[in-house]
Amino acid sequence: MIAGYWQFWAVLSAVFAAMTAILAKLGVAGVNSDFATLVRTAVILPVLGMIVLFTGQWQSPSSVNGKTWLFLGLSGLATGASWLCYFRALKLGDASKVAPLDKMSVVLVALFAAAFLGERLTLPNWLGVFLIAAGTVLVAYRG
């Protein structure tokens, strides 16, 4: 079944990320960007709670080891910082330029994964990373 493939979920993530950019740009028009981030977060927490509960994926917090808590906590802080910066950028700039520049994270993930996780990318993979970087710069270019 297609739902068992990571590619399916990655494409859905891209679709929802695109929707996020457009909806957020419309949403921040009348409010402070930090307040908009708070509203977004307030919506996400109960929705995810219901998903975890109703799909039977809840697990006891005591079953999670300290290292996992540390990295998930740090990931949460990074996510929050990313969202605050993203909404601020959307408040100030065009969604068609902000969202692609935000996706430079793809390039940074490749670099960080190679440097810190020991992941190996092939020459075609690195070419793709370079093309993503070049494309991002061209889309965000104001000329």
Does any domain span residue 126? Answer: no
Q: What is the pLDDT of residues 6-29, one digit of tens each?
A: 889 899 998 999 999 999 999 999
Does any domain span residue 119? Answer: no
Does any domain span residue 130? Answer: no
Q: What is the pLDDT of residue 26?
A: 94
Query: Domain tally for the chain?
Result: 1
Provide the pLDDT confidence category of residue 143 given band limits of 50, 70 and 90.
Answer: low
Yes or no: say if 107 and 135 are a contact pair by the CB < 8 Å rule: no
Q: Is the pTM of this model over 0.75?
A: yes
Provide the pLDDT confidence category of residue 2 given band limits of 50, 70 and 90.
Answer: confident
For residue 72, what are the domain limits?
2-102
H or E element that contains 85: helix 66-92
Does any domain span residue 120? Answer: no
- What CA–CA distance (Å, rounded) separates 94 from 28? 12
Q: What is the pLDDT of residue 140?
A: 84
- What CA–CA distance (Å, rounded) separates 85 from 83? 5
Does any domain span residue 114? Answer: no
Q: What is the pLDDT of residue 5?
A: 87
Does any domain span residue 137? Answer: no
- What CA–CA distance (Å, rounded) separates 100 from 45? 26
> Residue 32 pLDDT more than 70?
yes
C-alpha dist (Å) from residue 52 to 41, 77, 91: 16, 21, 32
Q: What is the pLDDT of residues 69-83, one digit of tens each?
A: 999 999 999 999 999
The residue written with tokens 């990571």 in the block is 6
Instruction: Give one word for 118, left, alpha or beta, with left for phi > 0 and alpha for psi -120 to 50.
Output: left
Q: What is the pLDDT of residue 141?
A: 82
